[in-house]
Structure 1
Amino acid sequence: MALPPRAYYSVVELTYRWECSLHDLMGWAAVEKFDIMTMLPSVRVGEACISGFVVVSVPDVFPLVRPYSRAPEEVRLERVRVPNTPDWLDLGAEDGRASKGQKAITVRIDDLLVLTQDVHSFEAAHDLLRRPASHIGATARYDWENMYVSQILRVYERGIPASQSSWVEEVQDWFAEHSADGNVPDERTIRRRLTPIWSALRAQD
């Protein structure tokens, strides 16, 4: 028996699927091309309880994608919206503190997702389904495979880098040293490829 389709994609997965940046995703969500969501346990908001998938406010989570290691590891949600409803629900009191008896609700970049139906609708609307993979039938511009091997050895021998920004600089130096034509990937591209690895490594601390 075949498994059902997946319910959602993480925003990090979508940066690979669509070959875009997290900033791109935030911008598209801000202009309502799709909703960015997270999943909550049961939370009381006023007289109601909400749980499961909820839409997050882009301004609340935008700090998570600040460049150059200035992004916080997590942010607090100030408001959420139940899917297919127009009204936002405030999660905190006006003075910025959580309501009495309620803990502040925080999310990390790995907690953010887009429902599969929205992913497919976006791809159909922008003809992404017909776009061929850029690596098929062509030589890769950068030697990502050997870079990954070098960084696996680096982490094994020397441990996790002090910061993601310093790691990006190390990878740029690696490409500069090993590039036959002098081409080096830009910082944003390297960061996008390192982000899921960095998040997984830091989660083990």
Structure 2
Amino acid sequence: MVEVPIAELMPMFRRFGPSDEQGRLKRVKPLGSATWLNVTEPPDGLPIRSSDLLLAAGPLQQFEEERELLRRPTNNMGANARYDWESMYAWLTWYLFEKGVPTTQSALIALVQDWFVQNSRTGEVPDESTIRKRLTPLWRKLRGEEPVG
């Protein structure tokens, strides 16, 4: 692993117009060194392609953080959900697959209520009637009372 001078590689990364397929390295700097070494063989420089290059994760992450390149855009399309229903449904899918369907709807509701108690970020838990409203269509499908689809 060596550091390379980006100026020598810029023709491979033009913003406008076609870029060169290959560049020529005429200097390299070993990691941890302060001294550039000249490439003497071949005399016109070491041929290199963009696929030969690696970026160090630390400096890359620092670059992205300083410029807020990875910041997620905010979604102002409504209020935040009060409860994490998506995560609960993911857990419930796993539970039903691994452990089977509870024998009663009340047992299913109790399982979901317990999940919310253990996983609520705010300490808020939906009441039993809210959970029942959300789970009744699922319960009916699981019991074969409604056609699937």
TM norm structure 1? 0.33
Higher Cα Rg: structure 1 or 2?
Answer: 2
Q: Which has the higher strand share?
A: 1
